Amino acid sequence: MAWLSDRRAATLLVFAVIIAALPLVFPSGYYYRVAALVFVSGFAAIGLNVLMGQAGQVSLGHAGFFGIGGYAVAIGPAHLGIAPWAATPIGAVLSAALAYVVGRPILRLKGHYLAIATLGFGMLVALVITTESRWTGGPDGMPVAKLVLFGWRATGASTWYWISGAVLLIGAWIALNLAETPTGRAFRALHDSEVAARVAGIDVARVKLQAFVVAAVYASLAGSLLAMMNGFINPDQAGFLHSVELVTMVVLGGLGSVAGAIVGAAVLVTLPQLLTVFQEYENVMLGLIIIVSMIFMRDGVVPTAARLLARRGQP
């Protein structure tokens, strides 16, 4: 059982067990829905974490790719006669291509400038989706065709729970492995010091672009999944607030930690559901919890918890 001592395998195993066991305690379909939302958001957050946590580059326009993936599965079947399962990879390829083209110039920027450039990119995507109403249904959004695989229709919250759960595990597995490849190590070198990375022979521009494209593909796939799960999409999915939400998930959960991205998504998706008991103070409580956790857990939930537990383990 040597593979169990590997942290990657252990993390994956824990999530697989959680995903398999959760339905045992679910009293109704609503819980499947919330959990599936956590998985989809978690998937997008894992991707963004590759860019932000591993490679240390910020993106405030990531929902743009999320929206492209979502609208790919909406527009493909509705206007172009492409099956939803085929539209999903098309959306991902489109996002990757766009990330490549856009990323080349804007990833030369650093810090605030990069943040503003990605922000502008995200807004542009949302703007195009909102105005091209002939294709996208405009600001009120459009319906999305059901996913049909070999004559089997994917409907119902529990079906999507299993689909998104499986996709999340695959996404986590890839991201965990990526961190241990030469590319992943190059990401981390870049994160620590761009100059040192360049001195060590890393093609900084290329590596940044790789991280950006990977993150874009993750977001695009998550967008496609959510759109098919909801059977509906509107431009909010590509909007600035959604970008900020994704960034918050990554930062709250813990930069650089795959488990952190999933936990961050879990917190941000379930909290509004739990806080409904506070009625009109809901948003105040949500803000308060996020502020307090960022003050006391500056590295994010998962890294802080891991450190605390490790410290307690020592004599």
Partner 1 sequence: MKPISAALCLVVAGAVAALGGPARAQQTVKIGSVLSVSGPASFLGDPEDKTLRMYVDKINAAGGVAGNKIELVIYDDGGDANKARTFATRLIEDDKVVAMIGGSTTGTTMAMLPVFEGAEVPFISLGGAIEIIDPVSKYVFKTPHTDKMACEKIFEDLKQRALTKIALIAGTDGFGSSMRVQCTLAAPKYGIQIVTEETYGPRDSDMTAQLTKIKNTAGVQAVVNTGFGQGPAIVTRNYAQLGMGAVPLYQSHGVASKSFIELAGPAADGVRLPAAALLVADKLPDNDPQKKIVVDYKATYEATAKQPVSTFGGHAYDGLYILVDAIKRANSTDPKKIRDEIEKTKGFVGTGGIVNMSPTDHLGLDLSAFRMLEIKGGDWILMAPKS
**What letter would DSSP give residue 179?**
T
The reply to whether 28 sits near partner 1 by the rule CB under 8 A is: yes
Q: Residue 214 Cβ, how far from partner 1 at the closest point, in Å?
A: 24
Q: Taking contact as CB under 8 A, which single stretch among the options 55-63, 114-122, 213-221, 277-285 is the one that binds partner 1?
A: 277-285
Please give the single-letter amino acid code of residue 247: V
Q: 1, 3, 27, 192: which one contacts partner 1 (CB under 8 A)?
A: 27
Q: Tell me the C-alpha distance between 229 and 33, whole Å.
A: 9
Q: Residue 75 Cβ, how far from partner 1 at the closest point, in Å?
A: 16
Buried b (16+ CB within 10 A) or exposed e, 249-286: bbbbbbbbbbbbbbbbbbbbbeeeeebeeeeeeeeeeb
Q: Tell me the C-alpha distance between 43 and 35, whole Å.
A: 12
Axis crossing angle, helix 63-75 with helix 84-106, rounded to the nearest 10: 150
The reply to whether 302 sits near partner 1 by the rule CB under 8 A is: yes
Contact between residue 227 and residue 237 where contact means Cβ atoms under 8 Å apart: yes
Q: Give backbone dihedrals phi and psi of 146, rounded to 5 degrees, phi first.
A: -70, 150
User: Which CB, 211 or 266, lies closer to partner 1?
Assistant: 266
Print the binding letters for residues 126-155 with partner 1: x by CB under 8 A, - otherwise.
Answer: ----xx-x----xxxx-x-----------x
Q: 57, 210, 234, 243: which one contacts partner 1 (CB under 8 A)?
A: 234
User: Which CB, 42 or 103, lies closer to partner 1?
Assistant: 42
The reply to whether 298 sits near partner 1 by the rule CB under 8 A is: no
Q: Residue 204 Cβ, how far from partner 1 at the closest point, in Å?
A: 31
Q: Residue 18 Cβ, how far from partner 1 at the closest point, in Å?
A: 6
In the block, residue with structure tokens 């796939």 = 221
The reply to whether 31 sits near partner 1 by the rule CB under 8 A is: yes
Q: Tell me the C-alpha distance between 256 and 119, whole Å.
A: 21
Per rule CB under 8 A, count of chain residues that contact partner 1? 50
Q: Tell me the C-alpha distance between 99 and 216, whole Å.
A: 6
| Closest alpha carbon to 53 in 277, 252, 269, 295 | 252
The reply to whether 266 sits near partner 1 by the rule CB under 8 A is: yes
Q: Residue 282 Cβ, how far from partner 1 at the closest point, in Å?
A: 6
The answer to whether the Cα torsion of 73, 78, 84, 88 is positive or negative is negative
Stretch 44-83 residues interacting with partner 1 (CB under 8 A): none
Instruction: Indicate the helix (H) or strand (E) that contains 217.
Output: helix 204-230
Print the binding letters for residues 2-21 with partner 1: x by CB under 8 A, - otherwise.
Answer: -----x--xx--x---x---
User: Which CB, 22 or 204, lies closer to partner 1?
Assistant: 22
Radius of gyration of the chain (CA): 19
CA 194 to chain centre: 25
Q: 135, 148, 248, 282: which one contacts partner 1 (CB under 8 A)?
A: 282
| Closest alpha carbon to 259 in 185, 178, 176, 179 | 176
The reply to whether 268 sits near partner 1 by the rule CB under 8 A is: no
Q: Residue 139 Cβ, how far from partner 1 at the closest point, in Å?
A: 4
Contact between residue 37 and residue 28 where contact means Cβ atoms under 8 Å apart: no
The reply to whether 287 sits near partner 1 by the rule CB under 8 A is: no
Interface positions with partner 1 (CB under 8 A): 7, 10-11, 14, 18, 22, 25, 27-31, 33-34, 37, 130-131, 133, 138-141, 143, 155, 157, 226, 230-232, 234, 236-237, 259, 263, 266, 270, 272-274, 276, 280, 282-283, 301-302, 305-306, 309-310, 313
